[in-house]
Amino acid sequence: MAECGDDVVFQSSLDINKKTHQVQLTRRHLTWDLASPGKSLRQTGSPSSQPFIGHSGCKHVPLQEIIAVNLERSLGKVSPFKSAKKNTSTPLKESPIYIELQPLHPVSFSVHVVKRCPNHKWKKKKVTFFCQGENLCRTWVEKIEEALSNPALKRPRSLLVFINPFGGKRRAPRVFEETVSPLMELAKIRTHVITTTHAGHAKEVITKYDLQSVDGVVCVGGDGMFTELLNGLIDRKMLEAGKIQTPSEQPISPDLRVGIIPAGSTDAICFSTTGINDPMTSAIHMIIGDSTAIDVCSIYSGDQFLRYSSSMLAYGYYGDMLKDSENNRWMGPKRYQVAGAKKFLANKSYEGEVSFKLASSADTNPKDKMMCNSGCNICAMSQFSQEEKGPDSWHTVRGKFLAVASFTMSCRCLISPIGPSPYCHLGDGTSDLLLIQQCSRIQFLRHLYRCSTTNGNQFDLPFIKVFRVREWSFSVQTDTEGDTDLQSQPSPPPRESRAPTHSVWNCDGEIITSPNLNIRVHCQLISLFARGIEDMESPTPQSCASCCNVCDPEDNYKSIGGHT
């Protein structure tokens, strides 16, 4: 049963649900199997034996998917006794009766493992193992804890956590206290928790904090909070290296992984990297040390560095919508729907010129229907092949745009279940650049509606162009440039009656007002506590357990001997 090179660390017979099982810990798995007569390991408890020969019904949990292990403090014999209060005038019959629970020595331990539920949701499942003696019980816990502390598993031991009490529906403090904190305690992960008091607070702390003392930085909030951590960590790294952010300078990867516990309004980064916006799922990905590297864009206005971004950077419709929504923050996530509807009715387009360098690989494009899933080969190859990709020349599109948007990840969210750019990759060093030309409301609605479905055909419309790019820029054109009608008027209309000639940028939910921008994508610049979205239909070796979720949603660990 243990695979080649997967040496047995410890094994013995243990009872699960009153049935004797042979239980085996290898360097990569915890496995248990109903004991068959003559195959008892009750006396063994030894590290030397051969791995099991598996059969159907045998449970095989990768160590990576063990959330925690703990001794069960069984409370046993009950002995009622009367109040020990002396010299009391209260008649004895009224004195309370105490039940003394005498602690027994631990004879069982529990292993909490990942349970896959529909829609990429993860929960924890507890399996309790009963031992014959206390020593065996303690040895099992020690051995499993030792195996989990293997640095190869990359499990964090301490985390710096920022809670944004004003993000999303303002539930972040409660989400942390009720869902995340108990899980972290169970997994023995230390947390230093800071509740932010103002925008930029997390970034200020990151500038000074002793980051050597933690294994990761986490936010309980939305995309805006994540972007603040991302910017804080890269800025700090550049400062320490004595480098100034210039368009030709390559930003330095932070050493720490970043986590998001979703408690924001859109949570597109969390959705696009885990498949769901569920606090417990994200906390489990952190505890088990999942890691995935994502692309980051650096944004400049001329030579002036503005910020880093990793999800959507958009001008026109999405920028106007964000600006309008900021007045209604009190509405929470609904502010986007209200502002989205208003700006949809306004149907405003802006003159501009977009220049871009195409991703030179012809193998992938924004319409290729190749989803970026956990263990994505395209991302894996991109990590090594950035240099080989020859420079593409610049292409330019001029026009009047209802929206210009670049997606560096799919940007899945509740209203767009596979995202506005469904085939975008997390770590391929490219962004999908979407140009929506001036069009009627009906035409734009058709695009938006398609974004809200799972068909992935939102780009198949005549007023839409989409390119996979490594670098791009945008510059506004004044309302007179290129507009012959206006130029022919004897005098310009009074300033106050002119419609604004330019929009603002929506950068991961934050406003950028400089209209002319230059953007470069940096391949896999930052790592997240996530694994990408698991493909539940055709499981990859990285997610072998997921296939069992399909055939046995109740108990999704690989049953050796094949699937049903």
Ligand X SMILES: Nc1ncnc2c1ncn2[C@@H]1O[C@H](COP(=O)(O)OP(=O)(O)O)[C@@H](O)[C@H]1O
Ligand Y SMILES: CCCCCCCCCCCCC/C=C/[C@@H](O)[C@H](COP(=O)(O)O)NC(=O)CCCCC
Binding region for ligand X (CB under 6 A): 164-168, 196-201, 221-225, 228, 264-266, 509-510
Q: Which residues pair with residue 26 across a beta bridge?
A: 8
- Concatenating the DSSP letter of every residue in 179-212 gives IIHHHHHHTT-EEEEEE--STTHHHHHHHHS-GG
- Rounded to a whole number of angstroms, the CA Rg of the chain reads 28
Instruction: Choose from ligand X, Ca ion, ligand Y, none: what does 130 bind? Cβ within 5-8 Å by kind.
Output: none
Q: Is 160 buried (19+), middle (13-18) or exposed (0-12) by CB count in 10 A?
A: buried
Beta-sheet pairing, 464-476 with 350-358: antiparallel
Instruction: Please indicate whether residue 6 is annotated as part of the active site.
Output: no
Identity (one letter) of the amino acid at 434?
L
Minimum CB separation of residue 310 from ligand X in Å reads 13
Q: Which is nearer to Ca ion, 215 or 471 (CB)?
A: 471
Query: Between residue 249 and residue 268, which ones bind ligand Y under the rule CB under 6 A?
Result: 264-268
User: Residue 551 — left, alpha, or beta (φ > 0 → left; ψ -120 to 50 → alpha)?
Assistant: alpha
Minimum CB separation of residue 309 from ligand Y in Å reads 9
- Concatenating the DSSP letter of every residue in 396-412 gives EEEEEEEEEEEESS---
Query: Between residue 419 and residue 448, which ones bind Ca ion under the rule CB under 5 A?
Result: 425, 428
Minimum CB separation of residue 410 from Ca ion in Å reads 9
Whole-angstrom distance, CA of residue 235 vs CA of residue 251: 9
Minimum CB separation of residue 231 from Ca ion in Å reads 18
Q: Which is nearer to ligand X, 6 or 324 (CB)?
A: 324
For 458, other C-beta atoms within 10 Å of its C-beta total: 24
Structure tokens belonging to residue 322: 């964000």
Contact between 279 and ligand Y per CB under 6 A: no
Whole-angstrom distance, CA of residue 523 vs CA of residue 57: 43
Q: Which is nearer to ligand Y, 254 or 340 (CB)?
A: 340
Q: Which is nearer to ligand X, 165 or 482 (CB)?
A: 165
Contact assessment for residue 94 and residue 56, using Cβ atoms and an 8 Å cutoff? no
Instruction: Choose from ligand X, Ca ion, ligand Y, none: what does 336 bind? Cβ within 5-8 Å by kind.
Output: ligand Y
**SS3 label, residue 466:** strand
Which range in 4-12, 220-228, 467-475, 477-485 contacts ligand Y by CB under 6 A? 220-228
Q: Which is nearer to ligand X, 265 or 349 (CB)?
A: 265
Contact assessment for residue 12 and residue 39, using Cβ atoms and an 8 Å cutoff? no
**SS3 label, residue 443:** helix
Which range in 67-75, 210-218, 350-358, 415-423 contacts ligand Y by CB under 6 A? 415-423
Minimum CB separation of residue 150 from Ca ion in Å reads 31
Catalytic member of 223, 290, 320, 535? 223
Minimum CB separation of residue 167 from Ca ion in Å reads 25
Shortest CA distance to 450 belongs to which of 476, 473, 421, 428?
421
Q: Which is nearer to Ca ion, 223 or 428 (CB)?
A: 428
Minimum CB separation of residue 107 from Ca ion in Å reads 52
Nearby residues of 484 by Cβ (< 8 Å), 6 or more positions away: none
x/- map, 382-421, Ca ion, by CB under 5 A: --------------------------x-------------
Total interface residues for ligand Y by CB under 6 A: 26
Q: CA-CA distances (angstroms) from residue 297 to 409, 507, 514?
A: 11, 10, 16
Instruction: Choose from Ca ion, ligand X, ligand Y, none: what does 295 bind? Cβ within 5-8 Å by kind.
Output: Ca ion
* Residue for token pair 């200020």: 204
x/- map, 417-446, ligand Y, by CB under 6 A: ---x--------------------------
Enzyme catalytic residues: 223
Site for ligand Y, rule CB under 6 A: 222-224, 264-268, 311-312, 318, 322, 336, 340, 411, 413, 415-416, 420, 448-449, 451-452, 506, 508-509
